[in-house]
Chains A and B, each alone.
Chain A
Amino acid sequence: MKWVDEFRTADGARKLAAALRSLTTRPWRIMEICGGQTHAILRFGIDQLLPPEITLLHGPGCPVCVTPLEQIDKAIELAHRPEVIFTSFGDMLRVPGSREDLLSVRAAGGDVRIVYSPLEAVDLALRNPSREVVFFAVGFETTAPANGMAVYRARQLNLKNFSLLVSHVLVPPAIEALLRSPGCCIQGFLAAGHVCTVEGYGDYLPVAARFRTPIVITGFEPIDILQGVYLCVKQLEEGRAEVENQYARAVRPEGNPAARRLVREVFEVCPRKWRGIGEIPASGLRLRDSYAAFDAERKFALNTGAVEEAPQCISGLILQGLKKPHECGAFGVQCTPERPLGATMVSSEGACSAYFRYKRTHV
């Protein structure tokens, strides 16, 4: 078992495409939640293998894309402070705030550093006791165990100069919000496998039942995605609405209990604003009061207030599956990965950047 090659075979993809063609009798609209899957779909041309009746809608599962503008501006404000070493995953640096991005703060002399893991930010705090190290804790359920562990470690080490700017989001409440939205046309979901690796899929069972919508936990290789679509269409054609697990090699029903325990020790559920979508109840994580000393928003007095989005950017509609990237007038013209108007064009998981990189469209 090589774990990747087996799930990328052309023969397997053709078989699944043929099986999908004989299975599909009418139009179906399925949303893949995760931006990683959106990129795989465009990169491998999976959308072109599907029967014409099946439309894949691209969901809001890109943490960089849904981080609200206010949080980006707070990050920028912190990064400008001379005492701060601002640390972040690389993707966040190009995301436009209301006036500038983190990369331009760095160009102007701000100490902004890219880390691969939040533990590297903890190390930086240990080695720089006279500086304040802030880590931009952005992500879904998949990233929460790592970011939570960074804070847990910092407290064990009795660090006074480490804090998180938190913008964590949760998938099941977002699926529910999409399904409740009046314009919703989504008939089935591919849920993000790696999110479920941590949290399992118990939270999806009531959503599938209440909204009569199939949810298939799906992996990230081409065969995984095609098989996820196949299982979802099979349910739709048979009138079923269940939670199925295509990605069983990495996802257990209960997820990873040790990771879930640590996440619940450090974080609590809170309402969270999603960029382009708005506030969704109980859709975020914030640090518990017992970890308040590590919360950058409580530690530093920040001036950032409410801010406006670029008016041409339709990323909100794209993140809800209501528009496709190439339907935007700015796509590829005023808005490119080098000069993005919105976060969906920036991130390696954003739908607009996937279309820009892989899809042949006339602009």
Chain B
Amino acid sequence: MAKVDFSGVVKDVSLAYVPEAKPGDYVLVHVGFALQTLDEEEARKTLEMLAQMGELAPGEDPAA
């Protein structure tokens, strides 16, 4: 079991399915179990696609 901080609320969560999780990692939790450690590089890639999307459509007013 581990302590997981949900934006201020701390709960005991089982790490049975993410034994590789280290202190400081972000984990996806469902009904008391961590199901995956979140991958920061993949998160950045998703956000980069968004950033590039703005550059690809320069003629369009994003506030329209």
Where the two chains meet, the residues of A that have a C-beta atom closer than 8 Å to any C-beta of B are: 1, 3, 6-7, 11-12, 14-16, 18-19, 21-22, 89, 116-120, 142-143, 145-146, 149, 194, 197-198, 223-224, 227, 246, 248-252, 256, 258-259, 262
Contacts and interface: CB of A to CB of B under 8 A. Distances in A.
B10 interface: no
Size band of the interface chain B makes with A: 20 to 34
A118 B40 contact: no
B49 A227 contact: yes
B46 A249 contact: yes
Contact of B31 (A18, A89, A249): A89
Contacts of B42: 248-249
B32 A116 contact: yes
Given A15-B50, A194-B35, A249-B46, 14 more contacts: A1-B44, A6-B43, A15-B53, A18-B60, A18-B62, A19-B53, A22-B60, A116-B32, A118-B32, A145-B33, A197-B35, A246-B46, A250-B38, A258-B16
Contact of A197 (B19, B36, B44): B36
A249 B43 contact: yes
A18 B64 contact: yes
Contact of A194 (B17, B28, B40, B53): B28
Nearest to B35: A197
A250 B36 contact: yes
Interface in B37-64: 38-40, 42-47, 49-50, 53-54, 56-57, 60-64
A293 to B, nearest CB: 22
Top 8 A-B residue pairs of the complex, sorted by shortest distance between their CB atoms: A117-B32, A249-B43, A248-B42, A249-B42, A259-B17, A14-B62, A146-B31, A146-B33
